[in-house]
Amino acid sequence: MRAQAATLRADARIGRRRLVRGLMLAVPIAFLGVFFVYPVASIVGRGLTPGGSLDLSPLADVVTDARFRGVAWFTIWQATVSAALTVLVALPGAYVFARYEFRGKRLVRAAVLVPFVLPTVVVGSAFLAVLGDGGPLGFLGLDQSFAAILVAHVFFNYAVVVLVVGGLWAHLDPRQEDAARVLGADRWQTFRSVTLPSLRPAIAAAAAIVFLFDFTSFGVILILGGPRYSTLETEIYRQTVQFLDLPLAAALSIVQMAAVVVVLLVAGRAQGRRAEALRLRAVAETSRRPRTTGERAVVGLNLAVMAVLLGGPIAVLVERSFDTTGGYGLGFYRALSELRRTSTIFVPPVEAVRNSLVFACAATVIALVIGGLAAFAIAGPHRSPRAAGLDTLLLLPLGVSAVTIGFGFLIALDKRPFDVRASPVLIPIAHALVAAPFVARVLIPVLRSIDQRLRDTAAVLGASPGRVWREIDLPIVARALLVAAGFAFAISLGEFGATIFIARPDYPTLPVVIFRLLRQPGTLNFGAAMAASVILMAVTTLAILAIERFRFADIGEF
Amino acid sequence: MRRFHALALTLSLLSAAAIVAGPVSASASAPSRSGNTTITLMSHDSFAASKKVMRAFTKKTGVTVKVLPSGDAGAAVNQAILTKSNPLGDVFFGIDNTLLSRGLDAGIFEPYTSPELANISKDIQLDPRHRVTPIDTGDVCVNFDRKYFTDKKLTVPQTLDDLAKPEYKGLLVVENPATSSPGLAFLLATVSKFGPDGWRAYWEKLRDNGVKVVDGWEQAYNTEFSGSAGKGDYPLVVSYATSPPAEVVNADPQPDEPPTGALLDTCFRQIEFAGILKGTTHEKAAKQFIDFMLSEQFQEDMPLQMYVFPARDGTKLPSVFVKYAKVAPRPFALPPEEIAKNRDQWIDQWTSTVLG
């Protein structure tokens, strides 16, 4: 009798768990279905049915055309090299952030996100000031080169690797490394056989994200690579926005998606077995001030890399924002609130900042909910094919052209009363489409590293699933959640993704103001655009610092 | 842990505020008095007008205009075409003669013959059926950096042929016609000048003379050009005939002379049109707005808002335009149908000739 009742209770619990899990999967799937699959399918579908009936000949043309094959190959190749280079350059930075305390660490950690939000056209002008024919590094001949694309990709994505990998690294128990050293392993052996395996899921996650950003990067290719380089993304832009050749654009989009799926599957396989449970420690226990000269040198060297790579272009922008005709001053900042004040195109800077922040908050909430639910479903103890499918589906928006998604919104989301095409609601949603996979990718490795036995023990002791998540998962993922929230916020502040192609009647944001200023000739317009960029950087840094303030007692709680 | 709840709470409150604030302030900007209509003006991102002028229109007609910036000129036209079964706006502004045929062929415009057309030169009324109405013109011309040529004691080039001469080697930066509207206009100028058979040979000469190609106007003008804010390395750039007066207006302190000038023998004339989007439910208000865009008040406001020349004959120009904005006496031109027929092919040929 009693045994039977216990079984029933257990069944009920399993049933409830399934239901919860099902709901967790349903929300992100519905979101992606409405705001990603449906719009993309609509625009691709329209391209493939030009006369009302299916016509796959453009697809055949693209696949057989040597030029397009070259473009597809270059797209994958440049993204692979860029991502590998970013990981190589940023991994030591992640190490420094994870293991050492130094003055201004918080500020630096917030500031590394700044490049992430800057509009490419603005960064491009700073890069060209340095790399251009007349710049201090002009002799290197990097202007309009493959190398310039690589450097820019590292610049933009450095933070991804530092924060995603550093986030997990900071929780790894250094005593394991110490033990290996005591047993006679040298530094490199220790890193390879102890640290690297534990970090692998986080490195894979960061590399996948950076790869996808580089795979679909658009401004960097056009502005820094110059007109000789084209990728699937720039071709889709050209065919859709300039030529309105929807059949060709659809074919290219399909090739782009296929390439992304193949790469994700290969990467998934390379990542191999599931992340193992790790002994995670509180951040406070794993990092300390550098003690030896060698350690100080490592920290100093990495900070120097950041100062040159990230700080260089940023310094150029800051300098320009003060460099008025009559010497250094605040003229351009004043111009920001005075230029074309009487025009319909004028936006008070305070309003632009407020709009940016409001959209970013909304996008962050959506991304945390969607990405968080997806992460818990995907990383759950029992692997299901549906969850694995969601994993790929969730990453796809990062690998699909912003043009395809943006134009897809236009023709798909026009049914009353859900005609949201010109609604401000669409903007945080479009940002969340980019940010949610990010959130999930940051959370999954950490969730997987949680020892399942901990959860089971808690459940056996009678904790409800909600309680298990609150008491076991949340404290451990708290830090990763903050990293994820910071990125989601930055992605929105930087206006990532399809929003460039969404018409927006109201609520201009800081990037919109920057673009408006850059569109007219005159030193004041340019200077004010620089000033607006500096404000965007400051807002980003402050916002990230504020998010970091919501620091939990790390994992010291358990 | 409590901190985390604080974060969640803050974020949800802020986004709730955003969602609530959205519709409220949107409806607050539209007048609520009954009988008033709001129309949506779909345009490229550069549309601008004085708030005062737009208010005057609302006061006169009771119609409020909401502007919907939809990307650059090409993107905006394409969006209008894609959404023609369920248009995003009532009036479209900013389709130019390089894109006109695409819009007309797609059938997105409703014909309307404005009474104000009486004041508009016949030369720029390109559509005999008046599906679109000319609003303004602008010349895309090579601009030069005055200081560079004075310092180097170099004669300023005058014609397209000059640009291919060795003394101007490595001085010109242009926009990619595949991604930029002024870039395309300049390509069309060369097609118009050298003919369908000769323009590629000209571009080969430009290429051998070190022409630099960049993605868009912003980069060419703000970064590569030496005569404006970016202090780049190229003293010749493809821009607009109205860029020199803009350099005077948008500077502090304002110079007596613009630091740049336009080469008037290198210009391609762009004509921008507005049209009523088929499917509008506010046809009367849309017509009123087209009339208004041709009115003296709006036309006089345009030059300093969008740096274009008014379409209306006899419109009074602002003094800075009178002084510094030159109109090309014999700009290059091509019929819109010919552009529509050949544009994609010309761009491909240009790409293989110059970048190949």
Decide if A7 is inside a domain.
no
| Neighbouring residues of A385: CB distance < 8 A, sequence distance ≥ 6 | none
A420 confidence band (pLDDT: 50, 70, 90)? confident
pLDDT band at A62 (very low <50, low <70, confident <90, very high): confident
Q: Within chain B, what is the greatest distance between any pair of CA atoms?
A: 74
B-chain residue closest to A472, CA distance: B1
Check residue A127 and give its pLDDT: 86
Cα-only R_g, chain B: 23
Residue with tokens 């918080």: A106
Under an 8 A CB cutoff, do B233 and A520 touch?
no
Chain B environment of A339 (Cβ under 8 Å): 250
Tell me, rounded to whole angstroms, the distance of Cα A312 from its chain centroid.
22
* In-domain check, residue A53: no
pLDDT tens profile A295-316:
999 999 999 999 988 998 999 9
Indicate yes or no: CB of B83 within 8 angstroms of CB of A410: yes
Decide if A500 touches B, using CB distance below 8 A.
Answer: yes
Tokens at A240, concatenated: 């859709």
Picking from B4, B12, B72, the nearest residue to A552 by CB comes out as B4
Q: Which residues of chain A are within 8 Å of residue B82 when distances are taken between CB atoms?
A: 244, 407, 410-411
* Interchain pair A550, B40: CB under 8 A: no
The answer to whether the CB atoms of B1 and A365 lie below 8 A apart is: no
Encode pLDDT of B80-99 as tens digits: 999 999 999 999 999 999 99
User: Does A501 reach chain B within 8 Å, measured CB to CB?
Assistant: yes
**Cross-chain residue pair B48–A506, CB shorter than 8 Å:** no
The residues with which B96 forms a beta bridge, in sequence order, are B272
Whether residue B114 is predicted with pLDDT greater than 90 in this model: the reply is yes
Determine the pLDDT at residue A287: 82
Q: Do B45 and A519 touch (CB under 8 A)?
A: yes
Put simply, whether A330 touches B (Cβ < 8 Å) is no
Looking at domain B138-269+328-355, its CATH superfamily turns out to be Periplasmic binding protein-like II (3.40.190.10)
CB contact under 8 A, B15 and A228: no
Contact A83, A207 (CB under 8 A): yes
What DSSP string runs through A186-228? -HHHHIIIIIHHHHHHHHHHHHHHHHHHHHT--HIIIIII-TT
Q: What is the nearest CA distance from B108 to chain A, expressed in angstroms?
A: 15
Averaged confidence pLDDT in chain A: 86
Q: Where in chain B is the domain with CATH 3.40.190.10?
A: 34-137+271-323, 138-269+328-355
The residue type at A370? I
Q: Quick one: CA dihedral B68, B73, B77, B79, positive or negative?
A: negative
Find the closest chain A residue to B3 by CA distance.
Answer: A550
In a domain, A395, yes or no: yes
- Model pLDDT for residues A435-455, shown as the tens digit of each residue: 999 899 888 888 887 877 888
Q: Do A524 and B68 touch (CB under 8 A)?
A: no
At A551, which amino acid appears? R
Contact in structure between A519 and B218 (CB atoms under 8 Å): yes
Residues in B closer than 8 angstroms to A552, CB to CB, are: 1, 3-4
Contact check, Cβ <8 Å, A505/B66: yes
A517–B contact, CB cutoff 8 A: no
Please provide residue A505's backbone torsions phi and psi, each rounded to the nearest 5 degrees: -70, -40
Residue type present at position A399: G
- A243 contacts in B (CB within 8 Å)? 344
State the CATH class of domain B34-137+271-323: alpha beta
> What six digits make up the tokens of B227?
């005569």
pLDDT digits (tens, 9 = 90+) for A529-545: 999 999 999 999 999 88
Q: How many helices (H) and strands (E) does chain B have?
A: 13, 11
**What is the mean pLDDT of the segment spanning B296-322?**
95
pLDDT of A275 over the 80 cut: no
pLDDT at B24: 35
**Structural domain of residue A390, as residue ranges?**
14-44+69-319+330-557
Residues of B in contact with A481 (CB under 8 A): 4
Contact B228/B247 with Cβ under 8 angstroms? yes
Task: Assign B13 a pLDDT band (cuts: 50, 70, 90).
Answer: low
**pLDDT level of residue B32 (50, 70, 90 thresholds):** very low
Residue pLDDT, tens place only, A392-408: 888 899 999 999 999 99
Q: Flag if B26 and A521 touch (Cβ within 8 Å).
A: no
Q: What is the pLDDT of residues A170-179, one digit of tens each?
A: 888 888 888 8
Count of domains observed in chain A:
1
Answer whether residue B34 shows pLDDT above 80: no
Is A537 within a domain? yes
SS3 B256: coil
Q: State both tokens at A5.
A: 């009742």
From the list B6, B25, B79, the residue facing A410 with the nearest CB is B79
Question: What part of A 59-118 touches B (C-beta under 8 Å)?
Answer: none
Contact A121 B82 (CB under 8 A): no
Out of B19, B22, B250, whose CB is closest to A523? B250
Least confident of A45-49, A156-160, B28-32, B268-272: B28-32
What percent of chain B shows pLDDT beyond 70? Answer: 90
The reported pTM is: 0.89
CATH of the domain at A342: 1.10.3720.10
Dist. CA B26–CA A513, nearest whole Å: 19
Mean pLDDT of the A339-343 span: 89
**Cα within 13 Å of Cα(A497), Cβ side:** 30
In A, residues 398-437, which contact B (CB 8 Å cutoff)? 407, 410-411, 414, 419, 421-425, 428
pLDDT value for B129? 95
Q: Please judge whether B51 and A344 are an interchain contact, meaning their C-beta atoms are less than 8 angstroms apart.
A: yes
